[in-house]
């Protein structure tokens, strides 16, 4: 999913390779745009886990009757 957001080509399957390619492209410019660099695979996984936790677990903890 993160590869689709980063507009990767269809046969690209590695987020870290996509990040490195975006870094190389950005670093050759006079003004580097670091916001265009995608997250690492580990950062994307952590982001997904935290969103799942916030979406599923926190409402259950709040709505539990005492």
* Domain assignments of the chain as residue spans, ordered by start: 1-62
Measured distance CA(41)–CA(43) in Å, rounded:
6
pLDDT at 56 over 70: yes
Per-residue pLDDT, 3: 53
Backbone dihedral region of 26: left (phi > 0), alpha (psi from -120 to 50 degrees) or beta?
A: alpha
Share of the chain above pLDDT 70, in %: 64
Neighbours of 19 (CB within 10 A): 19
pLDDT at 39 over 70: yes
């Amino acid at each position: 999913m993160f590869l689709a957001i980063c507009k990767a080509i269809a046969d690209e399957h590695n987020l870290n390779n996509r990040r490195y390619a975006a870094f190389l492209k950005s670093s050759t410019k006079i003004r580097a745009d670091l916001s265009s660099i995608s997250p690492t695979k580990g950062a994307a996984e952590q982001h997904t886990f935290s969103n799942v936790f916030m979406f599923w677990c926190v409402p259950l903890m709040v709505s539990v009757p005492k």
